[in-house]
Amino acid sequence: MKLQDLEIIITAPPAPGWGGRYWILVKVTTACGIVGWGECYASSVGPAAMRGVIEDVFQRHMVGENPENIEMMFRRAYSSGFTQRPDLTVMGAFSGLEIACWDILGKARERPVYALLGGRMWDRVRCYTYLYPLAQHDMGAFWTSAEMAGEAASNCVARGYTAVKFDPAGPYTLRGGHMPAMSDISQSVAFCAAIRSAVGDSADLLFGTHGQFTTAGAIRLGQALEPYSPLWFEEPIPPDAVGEMAKVANAVRIPVATGERLTTKAEFAAVLRAGAASILQPALGRSGGIWEAKKIAALAEVYNAQMAPHLYAGPIEWAANLHLATSIPNLLMAETIETPFHDALINGSIRVDNGFVSLGDAPGLGIEVDEALARAHPYHGGDLHLQMQEDPCDYVNGNAFEGGAPAPKD
């Protein structure tokens, strides 16, 4: 069994675009005709450039190889160019291709991927979701409305979710860490109060930030949120400053979570060694793939930390996350995005049931990819999957992060 052919499909979810502006899907076929699907969570270069990187990684390190030899292929990619250090773009390319290898191996052995990772630890994987606008909500007003957030949280609990995530403390600016505006702190407190009031103890509050604060600013914000007992304070400062993140973790009585922008065990190990976070959030389409994420989970286990795989992508990465989640003992929960397009792209082959997912015994990733649907929604834009804003924090008029769907501007 040898890896032979590669196809790359860049598909754009319809508006409002939950999960990002586009998803990079890879279809890998062996010489004996077994097809494996993967997804690359890579957003630091445009999709055309990323296509070239993925093709190079496949041709240079993987083509002609037995898909069983994942460790060898990882070491080739990790060492490429005499580096042997984490490379966000190369690892983003390799991760999706590696996921496809696991899909192939499971299909070849007629076993689900989790069975090849040590078997089932969890019959059901606990899932969480972001708060998204309901049908009656104004899209532009939603992101700064604590009342609407409470209504959305109640809706999530009614659908069985036991944890909801929200991030009212923007902006995410390319200038790096900033001190939050007092209005950002007040708005964040109002969101926590409204959501806690709406859900009581039926759901955990997951407070999202994306590395936008200084150490002092993150501590100010985190301490203001403590009365509402969020389950986590996500990536409160830029992810590469692990020593500073540890200062936040030591000063705030909310567990710190991080990991969506990290790759390979090398970066996650630094977080654990520093005591910077007790919840790790690898995105498997970026962190090195399924096998590397299994190693990250093992490292976390040693430090008594938990795993909460991150998802802001399509359903193929979601499937990979769920197979990892099913197989590890130190799972907390897994991020989930429910949209008609996510569901249709895998023909409903994995579904959330009352806030949990139970994986069956279908071989490989257990998904049926609608390739025609993926190809029918090509991406034609010029923006990246996610982008930082250039405008600085507005200390006069306040700030609004608008999720994956910024409201149209007149």
Per residue in 127-186, pLDDT tens?
999 999 999 999 889 999 999 999 999 999 999 999 999 999 988 888 889 999 999 999
Give the start-to-end residue ranges of the domains of the chain: 3-110, 116-365
- Rounded to the nearest 5°, which phi and psi values hold at 300? -60, -40
Give the C-alpha separation, 131 to 369, whole Å.
27
Give the C-alpha separation, 14 to 1, whole Å.
37
Mean of all residue pLDDT scores within the chain: 95
Give the tens place of pLDDT for each residue, 22-57: 999 999 999 999 999 999 997 789 999 999 999 999
Residue 407 pLDDT more than 60?
A: no
- H-only helix segments in 159-241: 182-199, 215-225
Confidence of residue 404 (pLDDT cuts 50, 70, 90): low
Range list of β-strands (E), 90-201:
125-130, 163-166
Place of tokens 């977080």: 271
CB 277 within 8 A of CB 256: yes
Give the C-alpha separation, 39 to 10, whole Å.
10
Give the C-alpha separation, 75 to 239, whole Å.
24
Region 199-216: mean pLDDT is 97
Give the C-alpha separation, 349 to 340, whole Å.
13
Write down the pLDDT at residue 403. Answer: 62
Place of tokens 């973790």: 249
User: Which numeric CATH code is attached to 3-110?
Assistant: 3.30.390.10
Closest CA to 191 of 130, 148, 135, 231: 148
Dmax (CA) of the chain: 63
Give the tens place of pLDDT for each residue, 259-310: 999 999 999 999 999 999 999 999 999 999 999 999 999 999 999 999 999 9
CB 257 within 8 A of CB 210: no
- H-only helix segments in 84-145: 88-109, 113-116, 139-142
Side chain identity at residue 41, one-letter code: Y
Choices 3.40.50.2000, 3.10.180.10, 3.50.50.60, 3.20.20.120: CATH for 116-365: 3.20.20.120
Confidence of residue 409 (pLDDT cuts 50, 70, 90): low
